[in-house]
Structure 1
Amino acid sequence: MEQRRPTTVRPEPSHRPDPPATIAAIATPAGRGGIGIVRISGGELGALAAALSGKQPAPRRAVVADFKAADGSVIDRGLLLHFPAPHSFTGEDVLELHAHGGPVVVHMLLGRCLELGARMAEPGEFTRRAFLNGKIDLAQAEAVIDLIDAETQAAARSAVRSLQGEFSREIQGLLDELIALRVLVEATLDFPDEEIDFLTAGDALGRLARLDERLRRVFSRARQGRLLRGGLQVVLAGQPNVGKSSLLNRLAGDELAIVTPHPGTTRDLVRGTLHVEGIPLHVIDTAGLRETSDQVEKIGIERSWRELERADVVVHLVDANFGVGEEDRAIADRLPVGPARITVENKIDLAQRPAARGETGSGVLIALSAKTGEGIELLRHELLNLAGWQPAEGVFTARERHLSALNETATHLAEARALSNRLELFAEELRLAQSALATITGGFSSDELLGEIFSRFCIGK
């Protein structure tokens, strides 16, 4: 019979034979500031606090203390805070030393902590210990770095929702429904001779359909969160002198690229970032795509093609005065198949045409003027449409691995539905779906995955 919660690889604290090593790190950014914080986490830290300050601070109370060197001289006077286990961020004893924020002072304090037996924390080790000690799950741990890295208010709010457990609660709700369904299936397998048909009595296929629908809703919210976190990679492509640099400048609202009437002005990649509905759009202006004997321009064109392979969206610019010509079609044929594509007819101010959006055999076509700005909003909205953005409240931050896990879960549920008349295979697909889903919050997660995730954190987190 199944447990109600997924098995996890992280050990229970009571099962550790040895106390955790004491780790220390500077928790504030490098450079000068009003306050510098050194954070320490480990086993019993009373002796370290006494050696450092001569005091035993009361739990969760800021105490004014002189932080002393080994010879008894004062390094600095500041605040000492003690968060005893298990009521701390890491679940271990934690000390925080709040000193004046000069780089020399905080490094002297860190050095003193290392003299007293602590070791330097690895990147993300404080958050990793919080995860291992059950204070947060893996999705919440990733939300910590997402909050730090947020580029917009919308991204920050979505990261906070994940950090507070909103995404995790959605995943756990899915797991609870999936486990309940597996219980029905296992009961039918374990008692094949019973007169009761557990699958029919428990509406197994109806449960599976409702589970599918809930999974789709969670995926939609997670996909929005991934867009807020990472944004879209938009690459501008086309012949020389079709207005790619002018379009980049118009979108970014700044003179990022040099604009001249001479073809071949842009010889290397120029990048700019703008935010539309809170989504970062990373726009890259490329060298004009043409045959050339100029070695510098040739290198720029080669780099342009490499960037096009990595794009989420390719904006193919053509001149509105001439439309899509033979050379434009040759470029279009060479563009990578994977990225979404928008064809833009630029310079409608010269062609005396109105801004417009239309559908063609190859996709969406937008007529605009990068010079005057007419039609730019049509392009912005189209980029959001291609991203799948739908403004909604309650979006939580998510990562590509989360979307992959949700997709894998959906695939196994679809396989289960197809195999509903073959009970053993039906049960196996449900088990695989649960395993895939549980990786999001940390159940069944490998040490390699944990190492990759936490290595991206800064030292003091």
Structure 2
Amino acid sequence: MPVDAAPIAAIATAPGRGGIGVVRASGKQLAGLIGALFPGVTLKPRHASYLPFTQADGSLIDQGIVLWFQGPHSYTGEDVLELQGHGGPVVLQMLLQRVLEAGAEFGLRLAEPGEFTRRAYLNDKLDLAQAEAVADLIDASTEAAAKSASQSLSGAFSQAIHTLVEQVIHLRMLVEATLDFPEEEIDFLEKSDARGQLSAIIGALEHVFAQAAQGALLREGLNVVLVGQPNVGKSSLLNALAGADVAIVTPIAGTTRDKVSETIQIEGIPLNIIDTAGIRRPEEASDQVERIGIERTWAEVAKADVILHLLDADHGPTRADDDIAAAFPQGVPLVRVWNKIDLSGHKPAVDQDAAATHIYLSAHEHIGIDLLRAELLRIAGWQQTGESLYLARERHLIALRSARKHLDHAAAHAAQNDQSLDLFAEELRLAQVQLSSITGAFSADDLLGEIFSRFCIGK
């Protein structure tokens, strides 16, 4: 693929103020840049040097640590220069500008988002799954997600995929060798135990998919929307789930006018809990602001992964509750939460029918909240295992599902004995292509552009 090999530079630390800030440069040869920035200084690779950072006229910008990593022993596989100074935004911008000026004659330019990691991928320092794990580790919202991202970054996910690919290649080799020598007239499927090998590959793929699907939950989480009439206890439930007073609770109907969001975690899974304006008929809304809030409530419902429909257990269901439920989108998991059991006399419980799960609790008294947490985990498909998970992305799951489909087709052809060996071999090839796309062995340029454009600048 065409790649701009010009040296690049950027601020590598997050925006804002901090004790330390880093400006990073990477390129095939940075000796000229080092000489321009630090004339007369010899830097030792992988050793820290404390030096002044100066303008071209010798005036001082800052003082800090300089690190030089000589390629290919660096993050990008190229020469990498890091200037670590104080983390003020002004001083870092001055330092970056100085680096760009000093490297202008060598073609140094500002890095694009994710370009350092993209070069690490192109220089075989990371495969594509590991490169994505870099961004996932930075963006991890829970401890469990960070641990799983570290697993993928270490290469554990990639190794599992490589093992599957090697098994598919081995079976392909046997099939295609038989196709090349048909005169041997051997029962290939029986003598090579091709069906047994294929079955073992499918079993291994299912295991990897299960770990990846669980890991995807850690990355994506669920959008959980609280819906119901005014004053039914939505804000109280949000506070109970969050363990803090993040929403205003009053006996006045219609207190919540706009959505209130809070991200919590249950067993490491991030849940984006969204408290919405209470729903009532437009003519009952107190003013235009409340009517807009109700419109936004339905907008959030349309995007929900789970709907929590709150009802008043003390008063029982009303026609308005039925009207609300009738407007819910089809196919979205629905939990009917019967709140205020401290007033109704109900016991905390979970009941299920064909349409929804019913949970009886008291948000105000924090009774039955664990039942709701357990139900949210069940809906998410979470299973507690002692195994490490891979922080997979949706594209990984799509590739794994597609590979499984091709392996299933291969199994169908295998059932016809040796009459469909050519189709058997083709399905194995297609499965291999899908698996290899996860680590980047087969990846289109537009996919790479999409992946790395989502990284922060400087990474």
1:402 alignment partner in structure 2: 396
1:5 alignment partner in structure 2: none
Matched residue count: 446
Match of 2:127 among 137, 140, 144: 137
2:329 alignment partner in structure 1: 336
What is the CA–CA distance in structure 2 between the aligned matches of 1:331 and 1:189, rounded to whole Å?
A: 63
What is the CA–CA distance in structure 1 between the aligned matches of 2:278 and 2:52, rounded to whole Å?
A: 64
**Amino acid in structure 1 at the alignment position of 2:412:** A
Structure 2 CA distance for partners of 1:171 and 1:98, relative to 1, 3 Å: same
What is the CA–CA distance in structure 2 between the aligned matches of 1:416 and 1:341, rounded to whole Å?
A: 38
1:149 alignment partner in structure 2: 139
**Any runs of at least 4 consecutive aligned residues in structure 1 with deviations exceeding 3 A, and if so which?**
322-327
What is the CA–CA distance in structure 1 between the aligned matches of 2:265 and 2:403, rounded to whole Å?
A: 32
2:405 alignment partner in structure 1: 411
Deviation at 1:322, TM superposition (A): 4.1
What is the CA–CA distance in structure 1 between the aligned matches of 2:204 and 2:87, rounded to whole Å?
A: 49
Match of 1:286 among 272, 276, 290: 276
2:155 alignment partner in structure 1: 165
Greater mean alpha carbon deviation, residues 47-56 or residues 259-268: 259-268
What's the C-alpha RMSD, in Å, of the aligned pairs?
1.8
Deviation at 1:374, TM superposition (A): 0.5
Structure 2 CA distance for partners of 1:324 and 1:404, relative to 1, 3 Å: farther
What is the CA–CA distance in structure 1 between the aligned matches of 2:54 and 2:18, rounded to whole Å?
A: 21
Deviation at 1:371, TM superposition (A): 0.9
Match of 2:311 among 315, 318, 325: 318
CA contact (8 A) 1:174 1:214 kept: yes
* Partner secondary structure for residue 378 of structure 2: helix
What is the CA–CA distance in structure 2 between the aligned matches of 1:302 and 1:432, rounded to whole Å?
A: 47
Match of 1:29 among 14, 18, 25: 14
* Partner secondary structure for residue 282 of structure 2: coil
2:299 alignment partner in structure 1: 306
CA contact (8 A) 1:348 1:355 kept: yes
CA contact (8 A) 1:232 1:281 kept: yes
Equivalent residues in 2 for 1:227-306 (5 A)? Answer: 227-293=217-283, 294=285, 295-306=288-299
2:355 alignment partner in structure 1: 362
What is the CA–CA distance in structure 1 between the aligned matches of 2:330 and 2:175, rounded to whole Å?
A: 43
* Partner secondary structure for residue 419 of structure 1: helix
What is the CA–CA distance in structure 1 between the aligned matches of 2:253 and 2:406, rounded to whole Å?
A: 53
Query: Which runs of 5 or more structure 2 residues have no equivalent in the other structure?
Result: none
Query: Which runs of 5 or more structure 1 residues have no equivalent in the other structure?
Result: 1-9
CA deviation map 1:184-207 (0-9, x unaligned): 221232222212233322211111
Greater mean alpha carbon deviation, residues 254-263 or residues 366-375: 254-263
Greater mean alpha carbon deviation, residues 302-311 or residues 351-360: 302-311
CA contact (8 A) 1:188 1:197 kept: no
1:7 alignment partner in structure 2: none
What is the CA–CA distance in structure 2 between the aligned matches of 1:323 and 1:119, rounded to whole Å?
A: 66
1:455 alignment partner in structure 2: 453
What is the CA–CA distance in structure 1 between the aligned matches of 2:395 and 2:183, rounded to whole Å?
A: 42
Match of 2:195 among 205, 212, 220: 205
Greater mean alpha carbon deviation, residues 273-282 or residues 389-398: 389-398
CA deviation map 1:37-69 (0-9, x unaligned): 111100211121111012231111112223332
CA contact (8 A) 1:232 1:387 kept: yes
Deviation at 1:267, TM superposition (A): 2.5
Structure 2 CA distance for partners of 1:301 and 1:415, relative to 1, 3 Å: farther
* Partner secondary structure for residue 439 of structure 1: helix
**Amino acid in structure 2 at the alignment position of 1:76:** D
What is the CA–CA distance in structure 2 between the aligned matches of 1:231 and 1:48, rounded to whole Å?
A: 44
CA deviation map 1:12-49 (0-9, x unaligned): xxxx8xx9211001111223322221111002111211
Deviation at 1:325, TM superposition (A): 4.1
**2:188 corresponds to 1:188:** no
2:367 alignment partner in structure 1: 374
TM-score of the pair, normalised by structure 1: 0.92
Deviation at 1:401, TM superposition (A): 1.3
Structure 2 CA distance for partners of 1:423 and 1:329, relative to 1, 3 Å: farther
**Amino acid in structure 2 at the alignment position of 1:308:** V
What is the CA–CA distance in structure 2 between the aligned matches of 1:324 and 1:411, rounded to whole Å?
A: 46
What is the CA–CA distance in structure 2 between the aligned matches of 1:299 and 1:102, rounded to whole Å?
A: 42
What is the CA–CA distance in structure 2 between the aligned matches of 1:419 and 1:334, rounded to whole Å?
A: 46
Greater mean alpha carbon deviation, residues 381-390 or residues 415-424: 415-424
What is the CA–CA distance in structure 1 between the aligned matches of 2:74 and 2:63, rounded to whole Å?
A: 24
Quote the sequence identity (%): 59
CA contact (8 A) 1:406 1:436 kept: yes
What is the CA–CA distance in structure 1 between the aligned matches of 2:280 and 2:403, rounded to whole Å?
A: 45
What is the CA–CA distance in structure 1 between the aligned matches of 2:393 and 2:134, rounded to whole Å?
A: 13
* Partner secondary structure for residue 59 of structure 1: coil
* Partner secondary structure for residue 99 of structure 1: strand
**2:213 corresponds to 1:223:** yes
Match of 1:351 among 344, 369, 377: 344
CA contact (8 A) 1:46 1:56 kept: no
Equivalent residues in 2 for 1:36-55 (5 A)? Answer: 36-54=21-39, 55=41
What is the CA–CA distance in structure 2 between the aligned matches of 1:323 and 1:195, rounded to whole Å?
A: 75
